[in-house]
Chains A and B, each alone.
Chain A
Amino acid sequence: MSLVSIRDVRKSFGSNEVLKGVSLDIAKGDVVAIIGRSGSGKSTLLRCINGLETYQSGSIVADGIEVAGANTNLRELRRHVGMVFQQFNLFPHLTAAENVMLAPTVVNKVSKAEARATAAEVLAKVGLSEKMDAYPSELSGGQQQRVAIARSLAMRPKVLLCDEITSALDPELVNEVLRVVEQLAREGMTLILVTHEMRFARDVGTKLVFMHHGKVHEEGVPKEVFAAPRTPELQQFVGQVS
Chain B
Amino acid sequence: MSYKLQFAELLPYWNVLLYGLVFTIVLTIVSTVVGIAVGTAGAAARTFGPGWLGRIVAVYVELIRNTPFIVQLFFIFFGLPALGLKLSETTAAFLAMVINLGAYSTEIIRAGIEAVPKGHIEAGLSLAMSKWEVLRHIVLNQAFRKIYPALSSQIIIVMLGSAVVSQISAEDLTYAANYVASRNFRNFEVYLLVALAYLLLAMLTRSLLRALGRVIFKAR
Q: Does A238 contact B (CB under 8 A)?
A: no
Q: With a CB–CB cut-off of 8 A, which chain A residues contact B122?
A: 52, 83, 85, 89
Q: Could you tell me if A93 and B126 are in contact, using CB atoms closer than 8 angstroms?
A: no
With A92-B142, A107-B133 in contact, do A79 and B126 touch (Cβ < 8 Å)? no
Starting from the known contacts A83-B123, A106-B133, 15 additional A-B residue pairs (CB-CB under 8 Å) come to A50-B126, A75-B128, A75-B129, A75-B130, A76-B128, A83-B126, A91-B123, A91-B142, A102-B137, A103-B124, A107-B127, A107-B128, A107-B129, A137-B220, A155-B127
Given A89-B119, A93-B141, A106-B137, verify A135-B219 contact (CB < 8 Å): yes
Give the residue of B119, B138, B145, B220 whose beta carbon is less than 8 angstroms from that of A135: B220
Instruction: Check if B50 is an interface residue, CB within 8 A of chain A.
Output: no
**Interface residue tally on A, bucketed by range:** 20 to 34
- Take A93-B145, A93-B219, A102-B137 as given contacts and tell me if A85 and B125 are in contact as well, using a CB distance cutoff of 8 Å: no
Contact-residue size bin, chain B (C-beta under 8 Å from the other chain): 20 to 34
- List, in ascending order, chain A residues with CB within 8 A of B219's CB: 93, 95, 135
Is B120 at the interface (CB under 8 A from chain A)?
yes
Residues of chain B touching chain A, judged by Cβ–Cβ distance below 8 Å, are 117, 119-120, 122-130, 133, 137-138, 141-142, 145, 219-220
One of B119, B129, B142, B145 near A103 (C-beta < 8 A)? B129
- CB pairs A–B below 8 angstroms (21 shown): A50-B126, A75-B128, A75-B130, A78-B125, A78-B126, A82-B126, A83-B122, A83-B126, A87-B117, A89-B117, A91-B138, A91-B142, A92-B142, A93-B141, A93-B142, A93-B220, A102-B127, A103-B124, A107-B128, A135-B219, A135-B220
**Contacting pair A87 B119 (CB below 8 A):** yes
Shortest 8 CB-CB distances between A and B: which pairs? A103-B127, A89-B123, A78-B128, A83-B126, A89-B119, A79-B128, A135-B220, A107-B128
**What residues of chain A lie closer than 8 Å to B145, measured between beta carbons?**
93
Greatest chain B CB density within 10 A among A76, A90, A107, A148 is at: A107
With contact pairs A89-B117, A92-B220 given, residues A52 and B125 touching in the complex (Cβ less than 8 Å):
yes
Q: Residue A166 at the B interface, CB < 8 A?
A: no
Q: Which residues of A contact B (CB under 8 A)?
A: 50, 52, 74-76, 78-79, 82-83, 85, 87, 89-93, 95, 102-103, 106-107, 135, 137-138, 148, 151-152, 155
* Contact status B119-A85, CB under 8 Å: yes
Distance in angstroms from A115 CB to nearest chain B CB is 13
Residues in chain B near residue A135, CB distance under 8 A: 219-220
Report B-chain residues with C-beta under 8 Å of the C-beta of A74: 125
For B142, give the chain A residue with the smallest CB separation.
A93
Min C-beta distance of B137 to chain A, whole Å: 6
Q: Is the CB of B127 within 8 A of A151?
A: yes
Chain B residue, CB-CB nearest to A51: B125
A152 to B124, CA, bound (A): 10
Please give, as numbers and ranges, the residues of chain A lying within 8 Å of B126 by CB-CB distance: 50, 52, 78, 82-83, 152
Contact of A152 with B220 at beta-carbon distance under 8 Å, contacts A52-B122, A89-B119, A93-B142 already known: no
Give B122 Cβ to nearest chain A Cβ, in Å. 6
CB-based contact A152/B138 at 8 Å: no
With A93-B220, A107-B133 as given contacts, are A155 and B119 in contact (CB-CB < 8 Å)?
no
The residue in chain B whose Cβ has the minimal distance to the Cβ of A137 is: B220
Point out the residues of chain A lying under 8 angstroms from B123, CB to CB.
83, 85, 89-91, 148
- When distances are taken between beta carbons in the complex, the residues of chain B under 8 Å from A92 are 142, 220
Residue pair A78, B127 in contact (C-beta under 8 Å): yes
Kindly report which residue of chain B lies nearest to residue A106, judged by CB atoms: B133
Bound CA span A33–B35, Å: 52
